[in-house]
């Protein structure tokens, strides 16, 4: 890897750089690895800030405008800060039919925030998302990468409690292995 | 019940891994395929009358045979498996791969051989994290056994499969959007022609197929075209993974002969949940037209549904019950499409949000006289005239829904409120 | 030629067109947004919808986008089809759901493609009753205003900026109805062609920020056909003024030169016209000085018109006339002329550069010197591998399909230059060597070097379908000779040679001494009086030489419109009209004579330079045309100048002059209401076939050289140009303006090998000696444009760049100061040490006050 060895002036960590370079090795073109590279950063920081975006772009030989064009297109790349735990509540049709609206209001009540917001203590971010592909266990949400279905008030409370007591499993949130 | 695609799916420990798969005849089809000329394999697929299970129902054999001939074509050539599965109400592909990943891997290898590809990509939605790990392990197992990689089964042909996770966007499931996404670009669609078979990934010939489509391939090669064709109950060939969601007793997926009915499906799902009555259904995911209780016995296959001005789509039905407000339901659908529009072409980008706003307004009691006509007028113009099929997919349920539930709309507007609330 | 059927009528179209082009080619109307003649089709806006029929028997048809439908023989469409018409109206209605109703305060109003299309589609009534979307805007630098709320997402901006101009700091962000076009963060746009965004944007998202300072509607502008004065390429322009003040410049289509576009220097350089000299009319002093003179020398100028230069030559006599070029330039220009006339190589136009597939750039920096050449080379490199797409049956106009099929493939570009020029970012290979070694390298290629880069290039050139060698007068005589030998050694190879200034080739063709020789005449006492025509001699000679000249000359009469070191040293200043207040002819780098017309009449007592000269002598010229006629009679090689544009007595088919103002021009009587209540007589223009008023013909003139603006019923924006072209995007009706003066005579090029040593004074090998090379910057090096307000903001701080190896040898360090001795003068500049400069050279900005005296590659001693 000649281009973009992890430079001293980078705000990316050595781990992040190493993981991005790992993605690059398997990628037919540097650009094809850009979503994976963004996910590396997101796994470490929860979201992509402008400086990190610039560093990733540099590593991939892209301009930050080119990389941000990709980053801002996709739903699961966050360009704004999120809380420690991210909750994605499905608001598509199958979940809606079986009560996603009450799931959402339950969550909003419990967390004291509206969809799209982060709790004041920075613990939870509550987001709406399109169909999660688990309509057979609707209503569904995804918490820190884990799918939780057949949601009821108790299941929601339980999931929130579990999240608070256990650190985020980076493996689960991001890539595998 | 016939089980072709689901025959290996069980809760038994280890059932998903290669030993179990091979013990059950797995990879025999691949061995057979590589002993044949690629064109002969394509001929079997053609004769089987397999149609793409991704929603459009395009004949798979035809797609394969229209790929640019190897001679004079640029290399490498690609197979891309479409495992985006973001169509609301659809979860069949996950079901198949969670239960039998090698079936897909084998299908992809045979597709690679038939289309003379050098590389395969499985494009999977990011939320399928466990599924992705299963797939990766299955690929590694196949590589270890020499079924993938260099000089596969001594055929002199090399082929590798990579798994690529999306970053979430319905448009990434549209085949050319998928190609852009794989290249690390926004999943905007590309113009056709040129079709991906001519100029796809990185400008090279590429075949994009759905997970279920590819999963059918080993069985077709193994048991022959006629056998596969005969599996269908009505005109179309093979079996189908049908699914059901909504307020039914047991939502889920079942494998049934192609051309089974919604009636049968509902029975398998244990009927409606207590306290709910069947009102209507979207037979094949969110991008299809509504059917009503009188249409429950129409065979769920491409042609029969087409004759009834309906569509099979992905074959995973969404059941609408009597307690759901149809206006709210359509507003929800419109929101999905407006939000997932890529932003490339005008009718979809600007038209759908208007449709959504109108539906919301009516649902919120702010409907006005003339809104129904305006909605229909908008949909009529948006639907058929966009760059890709996303907006058409939006227009099918919305247009048919407004017509089917017209009295509900009128009531909303007349009362200035939602009678369901 | 295929025949297509449009609403039942048969039309012929060129091979390889799409149906939108077919419609427009035949003079019919069909609205569109995302398609652009220079950018092709992408099918995004959906506005060009028509009904397409399979064949004669098909009565149903289907809605299709004309721009994505090939115009094959027998293709049958209907534009008038009610459903297609209604759909097109819907497209506009959808766009209007979010477009602000701010036309009255929008700078695009009145020349807005969106307004035109909205009217054309009959969208009048708003059915959308919800809120509009809003965006925040960005600061994009001094050239463009950004107003995203007006965006209609046609993607033209990003396609121009990224796909054509090669810029990487501008993109499209987000998705769905939140798509955003801009930069990742606020900041100055990096591309040298950013100003074109104002022209390709069909609405008011990107508008000319300089123009906004004194905004004028298109219909209130007084406009005239003109030529850019800021480099030697001669791009065609339409300057617009109101109340006798320049307001903006837009591109004037010329299919042989610049096409639709301009560089930012050409577009924004006009602001120099705010910074002109006014002084007492000293014509009597000048006349007296000439009467008393013991010998008069005249120095012309490459930024003055052909007729002014010729008038001066007539006044002082050929033997006492200098073309006003430095010795280095003069020699190189003469070499170029001899190469041109010899026919060794095929001399290409700027438009033809875009067709090349293998390009070798020798010793010049197109981006800094002749920016539209950079753009043309980018287009060539982009289009060169088109065969790949054609093989896949992808038509050339299917823009995104072509990009996808080519997958980043580019034509071959090789560069040898003393520093890393910007084009190196798309080059196949580049070397950075001293100027003398550029010529050596060129000879290595043509003489078939056995290995290395030179041999690789010669193989590629030989294989190429359209090979091209590019160099320039600024590269020196020897490199021009070497480049011509190279081009001549390859069958079918083109040669393109840049000229530094708008009329460098014109004055070089007029002939005369170099400035040095003219100065010698004075210093030797043969003459004591000097007339300088629009030329700052301090930019073209070393500072001591300039000082000595000023000291030795008795009377120095300077004609100029701007204040310079030379006007400051003058004994008599004769202010002359600016470029925008005078008519004339320039000869561009490929010897194309082009005429430009004044936008405004000369201001009161400040006439054009040629008339000043007339008054100094004993001439009877009534107008500049008389001078041109005399020149053509005198010197047949200038005859083409007479054909380049019609003369004053020319009239339109309606027997009228061409109106520089539109008949919608408002407030004629109120413009001067603060001074007079009378409606003044519109200024007369006896010099040209144009009128300075709205009286006259508003229709497109039959002569393409006198198009004052592109305007057509229903087409208020520049897209109206499609009505002025034979095929849209191709030649103008009446041919593209301009006449090439030189033709090959087949004579041997004069090659004076000894001159090589003059061109390139070699460092004597002494350890403190180094090549000192002036580098042209797009903003700051050109004399006039650097005075502009907007361009002034972008002039880089002056620095001396040097390779680390050389820096070490000379004991120079990054951030330190370089004191450079040459030709008896010393300059000192901050040092920047960087790899991108050739070893053995030190590169300083050309034409900056800090570097006056560095006129050409020279040898400096480091103190
Ligand atoms: C907006 C949109 C989303 C789509 N999403 C998917 C998807 O998630 N999975 C899929 O297999 N096909 C999807 N399709 C269909 C694909 O474009 C394509 O037709 C299919 O992958 C081809 O495979 P098949 O021939 O095997 O069905 C989508 C189409 C559109 C227009
Ligand atoms: S219909 Fe148009 S805007 Fe919508 S997703 Fe397709 S291309 Fe994008
Ligand atoms: S001009 Fe044809 S779709 Fe935009």
Locate the domains of chain C by residue range. Answer: 3-96, 105-274, 285-329+507-702+728-739, 346-492, 761-862
pLDDT digits (tens, 9 = 90+) for C93-147: 999 999 999 999 999 999 999 999 999 999 999 999 999 999 999 999 999 999 9
Q: In the structure, what pLDDT confidence band is assigned to residue A177 with cuts at 50, 70 and 90?
A: very low
Out of B48, B49, B61, B173, mutate this one to test ligand 1's pocket (max ligand atoms within 8 Å of CB): namely B173
Q: Which helix or strand (DSSP H or E) is residue C497 part of?
A: strand C494-498
C755 pLDDT above the threshold of 60 = no
Round to whole Å and give the CA distance between C501 and C129.
56
Q: In the structure, what pLDDT confidence band is assigned to residue C761 with cuts at 50, 70 and 90?
A: low
Per the CB < 8 A criterion, the answer to whether C425 and C166 are in contact is yes
What burial letters (b/e) apply to B233-249, b meaning 16+ CB within 10 Å? bbebbbbbbbbbbbbbe
Determine the average pLDDT of the residues in C443-461. Answer: 91
Per the CB < 8 A criterion, the answer to whether B254 and B268 are in contact is yes
Q: How many CB pairs (< 8 A) connect A and C?
A: 30
- Partnered with residue C360 across adjacent β-strands are C414, C469
Identify the weakest region by mean pLDDT among A59-73, C272-286, C397-411, C556-570: C272-286
- In chain A, residues with a C-beta closer than 8 Å to the C-beta of B324 are 97
Specify the pLDDT at position A168: 65
C671 pLDDT above the threshold of 80 = no
- Name the DSSP letter for residue C332: H
Q: Domain C3-96 has what CATH class?
A: alpha beta
Coil, strand or helix at C556: strand
pLDDT digits (tens, 9 = 90+) for B407-420: 999 999 999 999 99
The rounded Å distance from CA B210 to ligand 1 centre is 7
A1 pLDDT above the threshold of 60 = no
Round to whole Å and give the CA distance between B117 and B70.
9
Round to whole Å and give the CA distance between A121 and B302.
53
A167 pLDDT above the threshold of 80 = no
**Residue partners of C643: CB distance under 8 A and separation at least 6:** C739
Identify the contact set of chain A against chain B, taking CB-CB distances under 8 A.
Answer: 26, 28-29, 31-36, 38-39, 69-70, 73-77, 91-94, 96-98, 129-138, 142, 145, 147, 172, 175-176
Per the CB < 8 A criterion, the answer to whether C13 and C21 are in contact is yes
∠ CA B31-B36-B39, nearest 5°, is 130
- Name the DSSP letter for residue C130: S
Distance between alpha carbon C592 and the CA centroid of its chain, in Å?
A: 13
Q: Which residue of chain A comes nearest to C171, CA vs CA?
A: A65
Please answer yes or no on whether A133 and B333 come within 8 Å at the CB atom.
no
Q: What are phi and psi of C249, to 5 degrees?
A: -125, 135
**Residue partners of B7: CB distance under 8 A and separation at least 6:** B24
- In chain A, residues with a C-beta closer than 8 Å to the C-beta of C180 are 72
Specify the pLDDT at position A174: 45
Average pLDDT over chain C, rounded to an integer: 95
∠ CA B331-B333-B335, nearest 5°, is 70
Distance from CA of A8 to the nearest CA of B (A): 27
The rounded Å distance from CA B341 to ligand 1 centre is 15
pLDDT digits (tens, 9 = 90+) for C16-39: 999 999 999 999 999 999 999 999
Give the count of beta carbons closer than 10 Å to the beta carbon of residue B270.
13
DSSP string for residues in C8-69: TEEEE--TT-BHHHHHHHTT-----SS-BTTTBB---S-TTEEEEESSTT-SS-EEEEGGGS
Give the count of beta carbons closer than 10 Å to the beta carbon of residue A51.
12
Cis peptide before B193 (omega within 30 of 0): yes
Determine the average pLDDT of the residues in C408-426. Answer: 97
- In chain B, residues with a C-beta closer than 8 Å to the C-beta of C393 are 193-194, 198
Specify the pLDDT at position C767: 76
pLDDT digits (tens, 9 = 90+) for B103-124: 999 999 999 999 999 999 999 9
The rounded Å distance from CA C90 to ligand 1 centre is 28
Determine the average pLDDT of the residues in C465-489. Answer: 96
Per the CB < 8 A criterion, the answer to whether A76 and A41 are in contact is no
Specify the pLDDT at position C760: 65
Same fold, C285-329+507-702+728-739 and C761-862: no
The rounded Å distance from CA B340 to ligand 2 centre is 9
Longest Cα–Cα distance of chain B, Å, equals 73
Give the count of beta carbons closer than 10 Å to the beta carbon of residue C438.
29
pLDDT digits (tens, 9 = 90+) for C702-712: 999 999 999 99
Out of B84, B173, B190, B386, mutate this one to test ligand 2's pocket (max ligand atoms within 8 Å of CB): namely B386
C264 pLDDT above the threshold of 90 = yes
C673 pLDDT above the threshold of 90 = no
Q: In the structure, what pLDDT confidence band is assigned to residue C753 with cuts at 50, 70 and 90?
A: very low
Give the count of beta carbons closer than 10 Å to the beta carbon of residue B72.
7
For the CA atoms of C20, C24, C26, C29, the dihedral, rounded to the nearest 10 degrees, stands at 100
Coil, strand or helix at A22: helix
The rounded Å distance from CA B213 to ligand 1 centre is 11
Question: Does CATH number 3.40.50.740 belong to domain C285-329+507-702+728-739?
Answer: yes
- Report the pocket of ligand 1 as residue ranges, CB < 6 Å: B 52-56, 58, 60, 82, 84-87, 170-171, 173-175, 208-210, 213, 388-390, 393
Q: In the structure, what pLDDT confidence band is assigned to residue A5 with cuts at 50, 70 and 90?
A: low
Q: In the structure, what pLDDT confidence band is assigned to residue C768 with cuts at 50, 70 and 90?
A: confident
The rounded Å distance from CA B163 to ligand 2 centre is 26
Please answer yes or no on whether A65 and C171 come within 8 Å at the CB atom.
yes
C759 pLDDT above the threshold of 90 = no
- Minimal CA–CA distance to B223: which of B23, B4, B2, B1? B4
- Name the DSSP letter for residue C319: G
Q: Which helix or strand (DSSP H or E) is residue C352 part of?
A: helix C350-353
Topology of B326-415 in CATH? de novo design (two linked rop proteins) (1.20.1440)
Q: What are phi and psi of C841, to 5 degrees?
A: -130, 155
Specify the pLDDT at position B2: 85
C:165-204 residues touching chain A, CB 8 A cutoff: 168-175, 180, 183-185
Share of chain C above pLDDT 90, in %: 91
For the CA atoms of C714, C715, C720, C726, the dihedral, rounded to the nearest 10 degrees, stands at -20
Cis peptide before B194 (omega within 30 of 0): yes
Coil, strand or helix at C862: strand
Q: Which residue of chain A comes nearest to B326, CA vs CA?
A: A97
Topology of B239-321 in CATH? Ubiquitin-like (UB roll) (3.10.20)
Locate the domains of chain B by residue range. Answer: 18-230, 239-321, 326-415
Q: In the structure, what pLDDT confidence band is assigned to residue C450 with cuts at 50, 70 and 90?
A: confident
Please answer yes or no on whether C94 and B199 come within 8 Å at the CB atom.
no
Distance between alpha carbon C777 and the CA centroid of its chain, in Å?
A: 15
What burial letters (b/e) apply to C576-596, b meaning 16+ CB within 10 Å? bbbbbbbbbbbbbbbbbbbbb
Specify the pLDDT at position A2: 39
Closest ligand 2 atom to B349 CA: 3
Coil, strand or helix at B316: strand
Out of B54, B189, B215, B315, mutate this one to test ligand 1's pocket (max ligand atoms within 8 Å of CB): namely B54
- Residue nearest (by alpha carbon) to ligand 1 atom 1: B390
Considering the domain B18-230 in this protein, what is its CATH number?
A: 3.40.50.11540
Per the CB < 8 A criterion, the answer to whether C19 and C4 are in contact is yes
Give the count of beta carbons closer than 10 Å to the beta carbon of residue C119.
14
Closest ligand 2 atom to B388 CA: 6
- Residue nearest (by alpha carbon) to ligand 1 atom 5: B173
Which ligand does the CA of B389 lie closest to? 1
Coil, strand or helix at C162: helix
Burial of C460 (0-12, 13-18, 19+ CB in 10 A): buried
Closest ligand 1 atom to B213 CA: 26
Distance from CA of A5 to the nearest CA of B (A): 21
Specify the pLDDT at position C752: 53
Specify the pLDDT at position A169: 58
Specify the pLDDT at position C750: 66
- Name the DSSP letter for residue B62: H
pLDDT digits (tens, 9 = 90+) for A58-90: 999 999 999 999 999 999 999 999 999 999 999
Considering the domain C761-862 in this protein, what is its CATH number?
A: 2.40.40.20
pLDDT digits (tens, 9 = 90+) for C202-241: 999 999 999 999 999 999 999 999 999 999 999 999 999 9
Stretches in chain B below the pLDDT threshold 70: 1
């Amino acid at each position: 890897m000649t281009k973009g060895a992890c430079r001293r002036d980078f705000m990316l960590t050595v781990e992040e750089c190493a993981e991005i370079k790992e993605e690059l090795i398997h990628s037919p073109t540097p650009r094809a690895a850009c979503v994976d590279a963004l996910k590396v950063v997101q796994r470490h920081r929860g979201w992509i800030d402008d400086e990190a975006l610039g560093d990733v772009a540099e590593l991939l030989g892209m301009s930050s405008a080119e990389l941000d064009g990709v980053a801002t297109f996709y739903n699961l790349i966050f360009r704004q800060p999120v809380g420690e735990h991210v909750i994605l509540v499905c608001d598509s049709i199958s979940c809606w039919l079986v009560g996603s609206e009450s799931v959402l209001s339950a969550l909003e009540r419990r967390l004291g925030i509206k969809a799209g917001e982060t709790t004041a203590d920075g613990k939870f971010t509550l987001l709406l998302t399109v169909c999660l592909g688990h309509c057979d266990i609707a209503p569904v949400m995804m918490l820190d990468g884990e799918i939780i279905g057949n949601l009821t008030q108790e299941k929601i409370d339980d999931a929130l409690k579990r999240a608070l007591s256990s650190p985020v499993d980076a493996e689960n949130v991001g890539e595998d292995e | 019940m016939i089980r072709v695609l689901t025959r290996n799916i069980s809760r038994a420990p280890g059932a998903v891994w290669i030993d179990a798969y091979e013990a059950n005849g797995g990879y025999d089809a691949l061995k057979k395929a590589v002993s044949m000329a690629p064109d002969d394999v394509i001929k079997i697929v053609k004769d089987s009358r397999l149609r793409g299970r991704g929603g459009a129902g395009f004949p798979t054999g035809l797609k394969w045979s229209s790929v640019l001939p190897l001679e004079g074509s640029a290399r490498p050539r690609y197979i891309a498996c479409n495992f985006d599965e973001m169509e609301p109400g659809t979860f069949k592909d996950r079901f198949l791969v969670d239960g039998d990943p090698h079936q897909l891997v084998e299908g992809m290898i045979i597709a690679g051989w038939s289309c003379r590809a050098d590389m395969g990509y499985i494009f999977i939605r990011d939320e399928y994290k466990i599924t992705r790990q299963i797939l990766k392990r299955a690929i590694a197992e196949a590589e270890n056994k020499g079924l993938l990689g260099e000089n596969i089964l001594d055929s002199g042909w090399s082929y590798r499969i990579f798994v690529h996770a999306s970053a979430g966007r319905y448009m990434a499931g549209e085949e050319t959007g998928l190609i852009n996404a794989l290249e690390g670009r926004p999943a905007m669609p590309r113009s056709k022609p040129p079709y991906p078979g001519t100029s796809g990934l990185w400008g090279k010939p590429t075949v994009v197929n759905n997970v279920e489509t590819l999963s059918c391939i080993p069985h077709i090669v193994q048991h022959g075209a006629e056998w596969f064709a005969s599996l269908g109950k009505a005109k179309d060939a093979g079996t189908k993974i049908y699914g059901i969601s909504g307020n039914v007793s047991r939502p889920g997926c079942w494998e049934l002969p192609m051309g089974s009915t919604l009636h049968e499906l509902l029975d398998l799902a244990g009927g409606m949940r207590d306290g709910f009555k069947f009102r209507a259904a979207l037979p094949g995911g969110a991008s299809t037209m509504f059917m009503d209780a009188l249409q429950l016995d129409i065979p769920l296959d491409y042609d029969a549904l087409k004759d009834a001005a309906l569509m099979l789509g992905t074959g995973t039905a969404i059941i609408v019950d009597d307690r759901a407000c149809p206006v709210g339901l359509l507003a929800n659908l419109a929101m999905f499409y407006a939000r997932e529009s890529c932003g490339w072409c005008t009718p979809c980008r600007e038209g759908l949000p208007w449709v959504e706003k109108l539906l919301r307004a009516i649902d919120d009691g702010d409907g006005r006289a003339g809104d129904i006509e305006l909605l229909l007028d908008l949909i009529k113009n948006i639907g058929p005239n966009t760059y890709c099929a996303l907006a058409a997919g939006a227009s099918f349920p919305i247009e048919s829904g407004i017509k089917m539930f017209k009295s509900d709309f009128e009531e909303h507007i007349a009362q200035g409120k939602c009678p369901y609330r | 030629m295929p025949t297509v059927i449009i609403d039942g009528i048969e039309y012929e179209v060129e091979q390889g067109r799409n149906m939108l082009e077919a419609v427009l080619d035949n003079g019919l109307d069909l609205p569109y947004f995302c398609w652009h003649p220079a950018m092709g089709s992408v099918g995004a806006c959906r506005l060009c919808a028509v009904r397409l029929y399979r064949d004669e028997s098909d009565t149903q048809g289907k809605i299709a986008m004309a721009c994505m439908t090939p115009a094959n023989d027998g293709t049958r469409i209907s534009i008038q089809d009610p459903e297609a018409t209604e759909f097109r109206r819907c497209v506009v209605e959808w766009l209007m759901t979010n477009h602000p109703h701010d036309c009255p305060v929008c700078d695009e109003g009145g020349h807005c493609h969106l307004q035109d299309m909205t009217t054309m589609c009959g969208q009048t009534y708003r059915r959308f009753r919800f809120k509009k979307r809003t965006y925040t805007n960005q600061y994009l630098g001094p050239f463009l205003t950004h107003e995203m709320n007006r965006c209609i997402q046609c993607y033209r901006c990003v396609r121009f900026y990224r796909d054509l101009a090669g810029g990487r700091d501008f993109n499209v962000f987000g998705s769905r109805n939140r798509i955003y076009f801009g930069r990742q963060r606020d900041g100055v746009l990096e591309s040298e062609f950013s100003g074109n965004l104002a022209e390709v944007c069909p609405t008011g998202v990107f508008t000319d920020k300089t123009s906004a300072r004194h905004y004028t509607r298109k219909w209130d502008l007084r406009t005239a056909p003109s030529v850019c004065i800021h480099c030697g390429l001669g791009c065609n322009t339409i300057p617009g003024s109101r109340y006798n003040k320049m307001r903006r410049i837009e591109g004037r289509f010329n299919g042989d030169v610049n096409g639709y576009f301009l560089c930012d220097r050409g577009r924004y350089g006009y602001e120099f016209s705010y910074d002109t000299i006014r002084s007492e009319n000293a014509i009597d002093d000048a006349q007296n000085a000439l009467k008393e003179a013991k010998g008069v020398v005249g120095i012309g100028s490459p930024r003055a018109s052909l007729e002014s230069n010729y008038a001066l030559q007539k006044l002082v006599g050929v033997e006492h006339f200098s073309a006003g070029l430095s010795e280095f330039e003069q020699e190189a220009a003469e070499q170029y002329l001899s190469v041109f006339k010899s026919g060794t190589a095929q001399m290409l136009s700027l438009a033809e550069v875009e067709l090349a597939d293998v390009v070798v750039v020798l010793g010049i920096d197109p981006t800094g010197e002749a920016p539209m050449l950079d753009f043309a080379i980018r287009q060539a490199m982009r289009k060169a591998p088109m065969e790949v797409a054609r093989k896949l049956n992808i038509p050339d106009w299917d823009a995104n399909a072509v990009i996808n099929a080519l997958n980043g493939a580019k034509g071959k570009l090789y560069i040898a230059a003393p520093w890393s020029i910007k084009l190196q970012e798309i080059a196949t290979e580049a070397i950075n060597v001293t100027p003398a070694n550029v010529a050596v390298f060129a000879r290595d290629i043509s003489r078939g070097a056995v290995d290395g880069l030179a041999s690789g290039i010669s193989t590629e050139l030989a294989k190429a379908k359209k090979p091209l060698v590019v160099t320039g007068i600024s590269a020196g005589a020897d490199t021009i000779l070497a480049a011509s030998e190279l081009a001549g050694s390859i069958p079918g190879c083109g040669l393109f040679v840049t000229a530094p200034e708008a009329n460098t080739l014109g004055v070089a063709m007029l002939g005369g001494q170099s400035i040095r020789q003219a100065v010698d005449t004075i210093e030797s006492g043969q003459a004591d009086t000097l007339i300088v025509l629009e030329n700052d001699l301090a930019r073209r000679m070393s500072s001591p030489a300039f000082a000595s000249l000023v000291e030795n000359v008795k009377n120095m009469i300077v004609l100029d419109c701007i204040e310079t070191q030379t006007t400051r040293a003058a004994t008599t200043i004769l202010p002359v009209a600016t470029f925008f207040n005078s008519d004339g002819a320039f000869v561009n780098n490929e010897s194309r004579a082009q005429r430009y017309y004044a936008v405004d009449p000369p201001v009161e007592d400040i006439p054009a330079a040629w008339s000043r000269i007339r008054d100094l002598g004993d001439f009877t010229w009534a107008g500049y045309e008389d001078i041109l006629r005399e020149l053509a009679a005198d010197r047949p090689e200038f005859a083409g100048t007479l054909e380049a544009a019609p003369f004053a007595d020319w009239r339109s088919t309606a027997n009228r002059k061409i109106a520089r103002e539109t008949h919608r021009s408002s407030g004629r009587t109120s413009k001067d209401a603060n001074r007079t209540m009378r409606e003044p007589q519109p200024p007369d223009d006896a010099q040209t076939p144009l009128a300075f008023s709205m009286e006259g013909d508003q229709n497109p003139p039959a002569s393409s050289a006198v198009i004052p603006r592109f305007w057509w019923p229903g087409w208020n924006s520049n897209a109206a140009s499609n009505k002025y072209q034979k095929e849209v995007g191709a030649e103008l009706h009446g041919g593209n303006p301009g006449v090439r003066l030189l033709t090959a005579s087949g004579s041997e090029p004069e090659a004076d090998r000894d001159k090589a040593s003059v061109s390139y004074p070699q460092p004597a090998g002494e350890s403190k000696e180094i090549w000192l090379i002036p580098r042209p910057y797009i903003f700051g090096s050109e004399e006039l444009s650097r005075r502009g307000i907007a361009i002034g903001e972008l002039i880089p701080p002056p620095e001396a760049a040097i390779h680390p190896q050389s820096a070490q040898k000379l004991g120079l360090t990054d951030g330190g100061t370089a004191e450079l001795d040459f030709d008896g003068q010393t300059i000192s500049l901050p040092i920047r040490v960087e790899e991108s400069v050739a070893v053995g050279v030190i590169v300083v900005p050309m034409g900056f006050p800090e570097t006056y005296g560095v006129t050409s590659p020279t040898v400096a001693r480091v103190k």
